[in-house]
Amino acid sequence: MFKKILIANRGEIALRIARTCREMGVRTVAVYSDLDRKSPHVYFADEAYPLGGKTSLDTYLAQSKLIDICRQSGAQAVHPGYGFLAENSEFAAKMEEAGITFIGPPADAIALMGSKTAARQRMISAGVPVVPGTDRPMPEEEAKKYSEEIGFPVLIKAAAGGGGKGMRRVDKSGEFRAAYQSAQREAAAAFGDSQVYIEKFLEQPRHIEFQILADNSGLVIHLGERECSIQRRHQKIIEEAPSSLLDADLRERMGQAAVKAAEACGYRNAGTIEFLVDEHRNFYFLEMNTRLQVEHPVTEMVTGLDLVREQLLIAAGESMTLQKSVPCFIGHAVECRIYAENPDNNFAPSPGMIHHIRQPGGPGIREDSGIAAGNEITLFYDPMISKLCAWAPDRLGAINRMIRALGEYELQGIHSTIPFLIRVLEHPRFRSGDFTTKFIAEEPGLFRKDHAKLKIAALAAVILQQREKERTKFSSSSNDYTSKWKIINRREILD
Amino acid sequence: MKIFAEIQDVLLTFEQREHNGTKLLYLDREPLDYEFLTLGNNRFSLILNQASTLLQIVQENDLYHIHIEGEYFAIRVEDEHMRALRELVAHSAVTQGEHTIRAPIPGLISRILVAEGQKIDAGDPLIILEAMKMENEIRSENEGTIKNVLVDEGKPVDKDQPLLIIAPESDVK
């Protein structure tokens, strides 16, 4: 096993990786931007090195700085987390050249799966079903013509993409141009590559993905599925395992397809095969994420494994804990992603200082966050501030536990998506398991507030206001009333 | 004295009355039996008719930001004197036809979709503001004519920075 590794990331995932390292007796090297000096991932690590700068490009994406820090600190391996350099094949190759182990798949597997169009071609030849669409990036005119042929709606997707960035749905010809150009701009900003391609848009799909692990001997196993259909603007917000849609037969068939997909690209380490499942329960390969996923904790909770530990074992050339795929799960797990966004204002980003934070606890709860009081949420990085997971023997138990825990979460200084998440979890359709990726768009009721709580909140505000008034009663402020009244009276007379 | 708590489109009217030197709060003519304790760190414990609630409250002038068991409310509180005063001020103020579109969040001006002198309808997209790697479309709430464009594409803006000035149709000849 490694003696020391560098974690090339920030926030909750950097802290989550460091926690497993500490349990395994592996020393950790943290890196940080100017804005992150006070972040928990820095003070939790054994060693910490400044990257100098604020933007992602100057810091967590600065490959040469990271390689220098590996050399300086004597780190034997790098864990990239997710985002930033996690799916950058050039970085993985540079690491291997420098004699530093990249804790992830081989560079060529990242490159293959990073090109969504090349991945589609490989999957077709491996016999894994894919969503109908173009097999390469296309210029605007040609892409528009192709879309008209296969029929709207279509999705314009970034060839280098993932995570919903650079993706646009188009319902008719007239909207094509604006959507194409907007997708290109977003793709260029997010991935440094503006190429896009076209996929048929499935009307009522579910988004279900399979976790796989592959060791150095060529053994590939799957750890079952995660249900990720609850999305907003193509961003996952609630994930669970298992999916209420799958039975043993479909799970077996999709699991085998996932294993086949990983084998087809010579995969190693942890990865995720994303599928869309249509209303007839046909499944299609969507893409492979060649990294640890944000939502990996739900798989950990229902399998009992620590995926970061498995990643380190595989990268160090040791054997994985399991030698065959997981036939069934233990209980049910739900994850909620908490974003610094205001659900009352169309989910506008809500940057600001965290004045107070107190994470929930109690039975079956796991919280992964990388922020503390005194930290500032800036517009420089991802707005996800915390992941809350709940486990229970059955699905409704896990959902109820999650609602309880979200209600306990104390967070002051910024807006968060907590109120919205609770309403999703309380919704009868979500609870019944009958939903698709369109759920949030279809349910305007998710934006209504709880009136019983409103009354209590109003009372508290009134009490505070009255106390404030008592306190300032004898100060000069009372004179203000008189003067303003006088002004208005004069104005009324003049009118 | 009446005290109003306003939350978006809901208005709750409380009343404060004095009995033997003790001030009591009423809602819908029912006296409220409560205990309200400050816990520190903007945390408060309210027990109302034995129902116990933890609240986090951050005050910003007459606006109270309240987190209560995972729900969030922004509540404006004013008593009847304050309310009467505000209504009078609003009534007597000269209504300006022009209004300014401001940046709802800090970010980068990704694209400006309108030009000075252009007529616009309510709901028309005006500016694309990029923040946290996502594109956000700013739309017009009213119809009118673009009088001034105050920002440039590719430039960062702060929260509440003026972006555009819109004049009502009749103003621009």
Q: Is B92 a domain residue?
A: no
pLDDT for the residue numbered A474: 57
Residues A271 and A374 in one domain: yes
Record the pTM: 0.81
A188, closest residue in chain B (CA to CA): B133
Residues A371 and A268 in one domain: yes
Interface with chain A: mutation pick from B42, B83, B134, B138, highest number of A CBs within 10 Å: B134
Residue B5: phi and psi, rounded to 5, are -115, 120
Q: Is B14 a domain residue?
A: yes
Q: Cα–Cα distance between A7 and A5 in angstroms, integer?
A: 7
**Contact present, A117 and A136 (Cβ < 8 Å):** yes
pLDDT for the residue numbered A477: 46
Residue A102: phi and psi, rounded to 5, are -90, 120
Task: Give the closest of B58, B59, B106 to A379, CB-based.
Answer: B106
pLDDT for the residue numbered B172: 46
**Contact present, A310 and A316 (Cβ < 8 Å):** no
Residues A366 and A488 in one domain: no
Q: Is A110 a domain residue?
A: no
Residues A189 and A213 in one domain: no
Residues B9 and B73 in one domain: yes
Specify the residue for token string 């800036």. Answer: A378
Residues B76 and B101 in one domain: no
pLDDT for the residue numbered A339: 96
Do the chains contact at B89 and A165, CB–CB below 8 Å?
no
Residues A368 and A346 in one domain: yes
CATH number at residue B116: 2.40.50.100
The one catalytic residue among A27, A206, A268, A291: A291
Residues A274 and A237 in one domain: yes
Residues A256 and A292 in one domain: yes
Residues B101 and B127 in one domain: yes
CATH number at residue A162: 3.30.1490.20
Residue B140: phi and psi, rounded to 5, are -80, 140
Q: Nearest CA to CA, how far is B49 from chain A (Å)? A: 11
pLDDT for the residue numbered B84: 84
> Which residues of chain A make contact with B33, given a CB cutoff of 8 A?
none
Is there a catalytic annotation at residue A291? Answer: yes
3-state secondary structure of A322: coil
**Contact present, A399 and A425 (Cβ < 8 Å):** yes
Residues B112 and B76 in one domain: no
Residues A308 and A426 in one domain: yes
Residues A46 and A150 in one domain: no
Q: Is A113 a domain residue?
A: no
Q: Is B89 a domain residue?
A: no
Residues A212 and A189 in one domain: no
A346: how many CB neighbours lie within 10 A of its CB?
Answer: 11
Residues A10 and A146 in one domain: no
Q: Is B144 a domain residue?
A: yes
- Computed on alpha carbons and rounded to an integer, the radius of gyration of chain A in Å comes to 25
DSSP letter, residue B102: E
Residue A467: phi and psi, rounded to 5, are -65, -40
pLDDT for the residue numbered A482: 39
Specify the residue for token string 């943290």. Answer: A30
- Domain termination residue (choose one: B46, B80, B114): B80
Q: Can you tell me the ipTM of this complex? A: 0.77
Instruction: Report strand pairing: A341-342 vs A410-412.
Output: unpaired
Q: Is A17 a domain residue?
A: yes
> Alpha helix (H) ranges present in A199-323?
248-264, 296-303, 307-315
Q: What is the DSSP string of A33-70?
A: -GGGTTSHHHHHSSEEEE---SSTTTTTT-HHHHHHHH
Per-residue confidence band for B86, with pLDDT thresholds at 50, 70 and 90 = confident
**Domain with A469 in it:** 451-494
Task: Give the closest of B10, B12, B72 to A419, CB-based.
Answer: B72
- Is residue B21 pLDDT above 80, yes or no? yes
pLDDT for the residue numbered A489: 43
Residue type, position A483, single letter:
S
Q: Cα–Cα distance between A366 and A299 in angstroms, integer?
A: 13
H or E element in which residue B72 lies:
strand B71-79
- Domain termination residue (choose one: B80, B109, B136): B80
Residues B102 and B164 in one domain: yes
Instruction: Report strand pairing: A206-214 vs A269-277.
Output: antiparallel
Smallest CA-to-CA distance from B150 within B96, B97, B114, B105 is with: B114
Task: Give the closest of B46, B70, B106 to A422, CB-based.
Answer: B70
Residues B60 and B107 in one domain: no
Torsion sign across C-alpha atoms A446, A448, A449, A450: negative
- Angstrom CA distances, A83 to A91, A286, A290, A294, A325, stand at 13, 18, 11, 9, 27
Residues B68 and B20 in one domain: yes
Q: Which pair of tokens denotes residue A366?
A: 């796991």
Residue type, position A438, single letter:
K
Q: Which long-range contacts (CB under 8 A, 24 or more apart) does A424-427 make?
A: A424/A230, A424/A237, A424/A238, A425/A238, A425/A334, A425/A336, A425/A399
Q: Quote the number of domains for chain B.
A: 2
**Domain with B101 in it:** 97-171
Residues B40 and B102 in one domain: no
| B89 in contact with A, Cβ within 8 Å | yes
A491: how many CB neighbours lie within 10 A of its CB?
Answer: 14
Instruction: Report strand pairing: A77-79 vs A101-102.
Output: parallel
Residues B75 and B111 in one domain: no
Residues A362 and A259 in one domain: yes
Residue A447: phi and psi, rounded to 5, are -100, 5
Q: Is B85 a domain residue?
A: no
Instruction: Report strand pairing: B30-31 vs B22-27.
Output: antiparallel
Smallest CA-to-CA distance from A157 within A125, A108, A210, A117 is with: A117
Residues B160 and B132 in one domain: yes
Q: Quote the number of domains for chain A.
A: 4
3-state secondary structure of A150: helix
Residues B22 and B72 in one domain: yes
Could you read off the pLDDT tens digit of each residue along chain A, which spans 495 residues? 999 999 999 999 999 999 999 999 999 999 999 999 999 999 999 999 999 999 999 999 999 999 999 999 999 999 999 999 999 999 999 999 999 999 999 999 999 998 888 898 999 999 999 998 987 899 999 999 999 998 899 999 998 877 678 899 999 999 999 999 999 999 888 888 899 999 989 888 999 999 999 999 999 999 999 999 999 988 999 999 999 999 999 999 999 999 999 999 999 999 999 999 998 899 999 999 999 999 999 999 999 999 999 999 999 999 999 999 987 799 999 999 999 999 988 898 999 999 999 999 999 999 999 999 999 999 889 899 999 999 999 999 999 999 999 999 999 999 999 999 999 999 999 999 999 999 999 998 887 777 889 999 999 999 999 998 888 775 544 444 433 444 444 444 444
CATH number at residue B74: 3.30.700.30
| B70 in contact with A, Cβ within 8 Å | yes
pLDDT for the residue numbered A475: 56
Q: Is A32 a domain residue?
A: yes
Q: Cα–Cα distance between A166 and A182 in angstroms, integer?
A: 8
